[in-house]
Amino acid sequence: MSEKKRIIFHVDMDHFFTAIEEKKHPEFKGKPVIVGADPKGGKGRGVVSTCNYEARKFGVRSGMPISRAWKLCPEAVYLPVNYELYTKVSSKIMAILRKYADKFEQWGIDEAFLDVSSKVKDYAEAERLARQIKLEIYEREGLTCSIGIGPNKLVAKIASDFQKPDGLTVVKAEDVEKFLSPLPVRKLLWVGRKTEQKLRAMGIRTIGDLARFDPTVLAEAFGVMGTQLYLMAHGIDRSEVEERGEIKSISRERTFEEDTADFELVFKTLEKLAEEVHGDVLEQNLYFKTVTVKVRYENFETHTHSRTLSFMTNRLDDLNKTAKELLQVYLRPDRKIRLVGVRVSNFVHGERQKTLV
DNA sequence: TCTGGGGTCCTAGGACCC
DNA sequence: TCTGGGGTCCTAGGACCC
């Protein structure tokens, strides 16, 4: 039984946050721009969220400590993350993209997968459609994106990253293995730093190395993931493009400006975070059963402690009381705290809640 | 390099039930 | 009394994504 041939797009906005800021402030054009934590003259905590291509010339990258970015490029324009603005722009972009797809899946704030199998009859038509999408986004929002086209999500995702910014990369089904083979394994979805290291220790560096490796050995070393790795290395990915389902958890966490043993401050912060979480819970008409508290000590050692209640609730009181109890075990006079967080999960959605009462 | 914040999914061990 | 097996839920930790 042969599978139905699909044509999938992955659309990735180019340096999304800084591109929006540049559009809002034309005077930034041509300058290095960095969106992220406050650098505080090199003493700041936190990381770079996004940087534009001018900043990348100095070696700045997203995810990098902001203090390091400051050392590399003190003359850059540093801006805080304005999620509200970026979310608004994101919604407009996603609305444009959705029109073009049979099936649509948003991926983070600035990426999306589109299954366009019924909209185009071959890759040449697909490429024309992609150009049309890029043009519409540019004309309506003044932003560029990179698009990857392939027979599945995996290949489309890797293709969109292949040529940036303002790129368009087409990988036909018959070219997939040739395209993937020389790329480092890190390019595969779900292969992060740890998996990359483990693979390197086995002598596997490129996707081609992985494709030639004994799949039973991979399964032994990585479990279910091993089989997945082997299939991905051969460009096989049967996962569907589908809208995200219901939300599974809501959380807030805060890193203190300085590590602290002031437990009054820790409790106050936890309370504030709980209020924010509770706000989201009400807004989305949810009831939760599980509360989790997260603590990170000054040495970066991180712990979570959770409790599932015997009832479902949407009350701030229940959240606060449970969170405070859970936090107690971590408050020790000899250990300074770097971060505190709170999460609720195990939801019963409000709509169905009524029928359960 | 001195490491944010909001999420999802997986694993492994233990409790508990039939 | 010296010990099965399957299923489900809970908890803690970790890898990964943007």
Cβ proximity of A234 and A213 under 8 Å: no
Residue A245 CB: number of other CB atoms within 10 A? 6
> Last residue of a domain, which of A236, A260, A280?
A236
What is the Cα A295 distance to its own chain's centre? 22
Query: In the structure encoding, which two tokens stand for residue A240, read together?
Result: 């569907």
User: Do A214 and A258 sit in the same domain of this protein?
Assistant: no
Tell me, yes or no, whether A211 lies in a domain.
yes
User: Do A253 and A352 sit in the same domain of this protein?
Assistant: yes
Give the strand pairing for A77-79 and A33-36: parallel
Q: What's the predicted TM-score (pTM) here?
A: 0.94
Tell me, yes or no, whether A114 lies in a domain.
no
pLDDT (tens digit, 9 = 90+) per residue, A79-105? Answer: 999 999 999 999 999 999 999 999 999
Question: Straight-line distance from CA A312 to C1' B17, in Å?
Answer: 22
Tell me, yes or no, whether A38 lies in a domain.
yes
Question: SS3 breakdown of chain A: % helix, strand, coil, rounded to 5?
Answer: 45, 25, 30
Task: Work out how many domains chain A is built from and give that number.
Answer: 3
> Last residue of a domain, which of A83, A111, A127?
A83
Give the CATH number, domain containing residue A326: 3.30.1490.100
Q: How far apart are CA A75 and CA A80, in angstroms?
A: 16
User: Do A257 and A350 sit in the same domain of this protein?
Assistant: yes
- DSSP string for residues in A173-202: GGGHHHHHTTSBGGGSTT--HHHHHHHHHT
Q: Which of residues 145-184 of A touch strand B (CB under 7 A)?
A: none
pLDDT (tens digit, 9 = 90+) per residue, A248-305? Answer: 999 999 999 999 999 999 999 999 999 999 999 999 999 999 999 999 999 999 999 9
Cβ proximity of A255 and A338 under 8 Å: yes
Asked whether strand C has any atom less than 7 Å from the CB of A196, the reply is yes
Question: Straight-line distance from CA A248 to C1' B8, in Å?
Answer: 8
Tell me, yes or no, whether A140 lies in a domain.
no
| Residue range of the domain that includes A59 | 17-83
Report pLDDT for A348.
85
Chain B positions with any atom < 7 A from a protein CB: 1-12
Tell me, yes or no, whether A143 lies in a domain.
no
Give the CATH number, domain containing residue A72: 3.40.1170.60
Give the CATH number, domain containing residue A194: 1.10.150.20
Tell me, yes or no, whether A156 lies in a domain.
no
CA of A186: nearest nucleotide by C1' is: C16
Asked whether strand B has any atom less than 7 Å from the CB of A195, the reply is no
Tell me the average pLDDT of chain A.
95
In this prediction, what percent of chain A has a pLDDT beyond 70? 97
Instruction: Establish whether A111 is a catalytic residue.
Output: yes
Candidates A111, A253, A275, A298; catalytic one: A111
